[in-house]
Amino acid sequence: MFPAKPTSRSILFTATIFVLLIFTIYVTANEDPTVETDNEGVDSDLQELIAIDEQGGGGGEEQQQGDQQKEAEVLSKAQRIVLELNSDNARRVIDQNEFVLILGYAPWCARSAELMPQFAEAANKLKDLGSPVLMAKLDAERYPKVASTLGIKGFPTLLLFVNGTSQVYTGGFSGEDIVIWARKKTGFPVIRISSSVEAEDFQKKYHLFVLGLFDKFEGHDYEEFIKAATTDNEIQFVEVSSSSVAKILFPNINATDHFIGIVKSEPEKYIAYGGIFEKDTILQFLEYNKFPLVTILTELNSARVYSSPFKLQVIVFADSDDFKNLIQPLQEVARKFISKIMFVYIDIADENQAKPFLTLLGIEDSENTVVSAFDNRMSSKYLLESNPTPSNIEEFCSRLLHGTLSPYFKSQPIPDNKEKILQVIVGKTLDDLVLSSPKNVLLEVYTPWCINCETTTKQIEKLAKHFMGVDNLVFARIDASANEHPKLQVDDYPTLLFYPAGDKANPVKLSTKSTSKDLATVIKSLLRVKKDVPKDEL
């Protein structure tokens, strides 16, 4: 699920001591004097699930103590229901139980630590629901052979074993996501509600669900609804036969039979389905409507967002305080593009989520609000370069939707090339200084991380001095990691391109393995003006 991270024995030993130290301090601080500390009567295979949620949240000493007490209760409950696997019991547990959901983790893995509390929450909920799923975890770092046998290749990994055969986990990574996925895969794709009390209780537990209203739980339409519920991996489906019960869950429902709608906890809360009752059509409706008007990207939902069917995405980067003022007008804009454009917010201070996108746009150091867009059909990116007001964002989105928005190509600031024998080209100057220049141009395309680029650059500097007396020849270089242009598509670095004065559309690629003397010979032949070419040796 995530690539494994190799570690030395010393790192593993240090990490293990560190975890044990924190755990010892934690248990000591939260120990209930009425609870016995020995483990008599408890199955030796059942051990405590280390699921400490380290997310901070200032709320005073009482709030902190309350959170710690709640956390301790979760840990205590998880201790009784999550099985710790090892080399002795793993195969036996899988063979003797119909359903086993296993979390493969490593003590040093940050993502494993993030998933642990969610796994603990899911374990508690599934137990309360009477689920037949046995929840287990395996320290894959400590038991690598067992992990390899089970198919755990990265950390963390979730696998469901059904009668001994594994299934890859394809759900989300919150506690609720794990519960929904596990129930769907173990024969409970839909919850049936028969009374108003049940409906009201259900509303308190689920913030996203699909409602199906059928007078009878049979027939083609109902069967397609069940197929969709079984196939979907993320959303809880609920079925009712009473229109009065349905109105509790979906107040503005008009139908009395054969109705499907999705309910979300946001301003655009209720969306009714208007298509035919076919599994694939229902699932397509859900794919385009399950997200909120503006999705806040996190580690837990990132995989779901990246795999969404939306080809057009508008991504807004802002700090959390600015976003509080922007969220409402942004939702109003998003409402006008429902099912057409996906709107995503990323905290600009989030290194893991924001920086890769901002680097792609060439503005990784930006601290101000950024509005960007991506068209995944053409791998094009766009940037709102005016103030991010609601009206400007709406116009930006409209032009994106209608294909009239110009793609964005990142560029460094325009440099001062006065008295430089080797001109520095950036994305914004490639047209003027290379493609539209009346002169011949030899362009070196390089990147800072390229191993061989430094040697090539020294050659080009030497050649530039050698041909200094040739008026119709310019030597230049461009950093491809920081500059883009639609007519400069290079994947290999360094690359040398000679743009003839009379045919800029067909540059000649020169060998970077040639000696300076050989390159000089090639350049002379391309210039075809021997009288202007210097005759001294390189």
pLDDT tens, position by position, 91-117: 999 999 999 999 999 999 998 998 999
Nearest to 352 by CA among 391, 290, 297: 297
Phi, psi of 168 (to 5 degrees): -70, 135
* Block residue for tokens 């040398």: 496
**Contact in structure between 99 and 134 (CB atoms under 8 Å):** yes
Question: DSSP assignment, residue 260?
Answer: E
Residue 47 pLDDT: 38
Structure tokens at 259: 């109705």
Structure tokens at 55: 């997310």
Structure confidence at residue 44 as a pLDDT band (50, 70, 90): very low
Structure tokens at 498: 């000679």
* Block residue for tokens 């007519």: 487
Q: Is the pLDDT of residue 425 over 90?
A: yes
Distance CA 107, CA 213 (A): 46
**Lowest-pLDDT range of 126-135, 295-304, 392-401, 508-517:** 295-304
Structure tokens at 400: 């994106």
Structure confidence at residue 15 as a pLDDT band (50, 70, 90): very low
What mean pLDDT comes out for the span 431-444? Answer: 96
**Contact in structure between 308 and 369 (CB atoms under 8 Å):** no
To the question of pTM greater than 0.85 for the whole model, the response is no
Distance CA 169, CA 115 (A): 13
**Contact in structure between 75 and 48 (CB atoms under 8 Å):** yes
370 Rama class: left (phi>0) / alpha (psi -120 to 50) / beta: beta
112 Rama class: left (phi>0) / alpha (psi -120 to 50) / beta: alpha
pLDDT digits (tens, 9 = 90+) for 508-534: 999 999 999 999 999 999 997 444 555
What mean pLDDT comes out for the span 140-153? Answer: 95
pLDDT digits (tens, 9 = 90+) for 189-229: 999 999 999 999 999 989 899 999 999 999 999 999 999 99
Q: Is the pLDDT of residue 241 over 90?
A: yes
Residue 30 pLDDT: 37
Q: Which long-range contacts (CB under 8 A, 24 or more apart) does 86-91 make?
A: 86/138, 86/142, 86/143, 86/146, 87/143, 87/145, 87/146, 89/45, 90/138, 90/143, 90/146, 90/149, 90/150, 91/149
**Contact in structure between 170 and 160 (CB atoms under 8 Å):** no
Q: Which residues are catalytic?
A: 109, 450, 453
Residue 275 pLDDT: 94
